[in-house]
Amino acid sequence: MEIVREVRALQARADAERAAGRRLALVPTMGALHEGHVALVAEARRRADVVVVSIFVNPTQFGPGEDFAAYPRPFEADAARCREAGVDVLFAPSAEAMYPAGFQTFVEVERIAKPLCGASRPGHFRGVATVVTKLLLAAKPHLALFGEKDYQQLALIRRLVLDLGVDVEIVGVPTAREPDGLARSSRNVFLGPEARAQAAALRRALRAAEDAVAAGERDAGGLLAGVRRELAKAPLAEVDYAELRDAETLDPAPARLAGPTLLALAVRFPAASSPRGVRLIDNTVLRPRAAPAGREGSP
């Protein structure tokens, strides 16, 4: 595995691989790699000849008071995990390599960035859109893979690529989970034992909504009430949001679900390492069955 630190060096490697007719995949990460990242690499390995993983804790997507300084950076362990997973190139640039002196160019995706995490983390998705654009330009991949746990990020990147005409395929990979259903995240390590046990409530809330929709429930208010009842069983949980959104546009869902609908959660748990606690996100796409003829709008 080659470790590359400079943008120009990665571009040169990509040019050589493309000239040789090889297919490149990029897996962007912020490090602290876990089994969810390994699943992304495995899917990249299946789809491409050359797999590039980037590790870069991007300062422009962290707001004031967020955990940028405390974000885990176990580089040697991450590099070892990449080698074991069969990564060909590890791109690990410095902040100066990604944001040279005088940097003043940012990428914004307007509507998709506003709700959900965008409402509580102003500027976050401007940082995400900018760094992903830069990584795509540096790695020149044929495809880039992202986890579906960060659904809003995935939707935003797909919109960015479509709007700017970037010649890359964006692949979403299903959320990797712990045995109790908690979505794997680099932030899970900050949870104390009690908070960790209660954090499984996120997945239980999503499943409750999935079961309700499968049984025929289509009322948005009723679904969200059920979700909040399930989250209330975790007394340490502070709900940031629990919302229903159009699965493609992220516009608010109608009062009665009519098509694929994103149920997105963000919940904060206390943590000794941070006065703001640990903020976890999770989601599912609800797929209501079509109403029988003549039954639309019936209770």
Residue 144 and residue 235 share a domain:
no
Q: Is the pLDDT of residue 296 over 60?
A: no
Tell me, yes or no, whether 87 lies in a domain.
yes
DSSP calls for 213-266? HHTT--BHHHHHHHHHHHHHTSTT-EEEEEEEEETTT-PBPPSB--S-EEEEEE
- Looking at residue 261, which CATH number applies to its domain? 3.30.1300.10
pLDDT one-digit tens code per residue, 200-247 = 999 999 999 999 999 999 999 999 999 999 999 999 999 999 999 999
Residue 44 and residue 7 share a domain:
yes
Residue 77 and residue 42 share a domain:
yes
Locate tokens 């491409």: which residue?
48
Tell me, yes or no, whether 235 lies in a domain.
yes
Residue 267 and residue 234 share a domain:
yes
Q: Is the pLDDT of residue 299 over 80?
A: no
Residue at which a domain ends, from 128, 151, 173:
173
Which structural domain, as residue segments, surrounds residue 22?
A: 2-173
Average pLDDT, the chain: 95
Rounded mean pLDDT of 172-183? Answer: 97
Tell me, yes or no, whether 256 lies in a domain.
yes
pLDDT one-digit tens code per residue, 118-138 = 999 999 999 999 999 999 999
Tell me, yes or no, whether 41 lies in a domain.
yes
Helices 220-232, 201-214: inter-axial angle, 10-degree rounding: 150
pLDDT one-digit tens code per residue, 83-98 = 999 999 999 999 999 9
Q: Is 34 a catalytic residue?
A: no
Residue 164 and residue 50 share a domain:
yes
Task: Give 112's pLDDT tier (boundaries 50, 70, 90).
Answer: very high
Catalytic residue among 34, 37, 124, 142: 37
Tell me, yes or no, whether 298 lies in a domain.
no
Residue 15 and residue 152 share a domain:
yes
Residue 112 and residue 250 share a domain:
no
Tell me, yes or no, whether 293 lies in a domain.
no
Q: Is the pLDDT of residue 20 over 60?
A: yes
Q: Which residue has the higher pLDDT, 255 or 189?
A: 255
Residue at which a domain ends, from 121, 152, 173:
173
Give the model's pLDDT for residue 70. 85
Residue 269 and residue 152 share a domain:
no
Percent of the chain with pLDDT over 90: 89
Give the model's pLDDT for residue 67. 81
How many distinct structural domains can be found in the chain? 2
Give the model's pLDDT for residue 93. 98
Residue 154 and residue 50 share a domain:
yes
Tell me, yes or no, whether 242 lies in a domain.
yes
Residue at which a domain ends, from 116, 138, 173:
173
Q: Is the pLDDT of residue 272 over 90?
A: no
Residue 153 and residue 104 share a domain:
yes
Residue 16 and residue 160 share a domain:
yes
Identify the H or E element spanning 2: strand 2-4
Which ranges of the chain would DSSP assign to H, the alpha helix? 7-19, 35-47, 75-85, 95-98, 117-120, 124-139, 151-164, 193-199, 201-214, 220-232
Locate tokens 């500027």: which residue?
123
The sheet carrying 274-286 orders its strands as: 238-246, 261-271, 274-286
pLDDT one-digit tens code per residue, 25-77 = 999 999 999 999 999 999 999 999 999 999 999 999 999 888 898 888 999 99
Residue 252 and residue 218 share a domain:
yes
Helices 75-85, 35-47: inter-axial angle, 10-degree rounding: 40
Give the model's pLDDT for residue 292. 57
Tell me, yes or no, whether 294 lies in a domain.
no
Task: Give 289's pLDDT tier (boundaries 50, 70, 90).
Answer: confident
Give the model's pLDDT for residue 291. 60
- Looking at residue 83, which CATH number applies to its domain? 3.40.50.620
pLDDT one-digit tens code per residue, 3-12 = 999 999 999 9
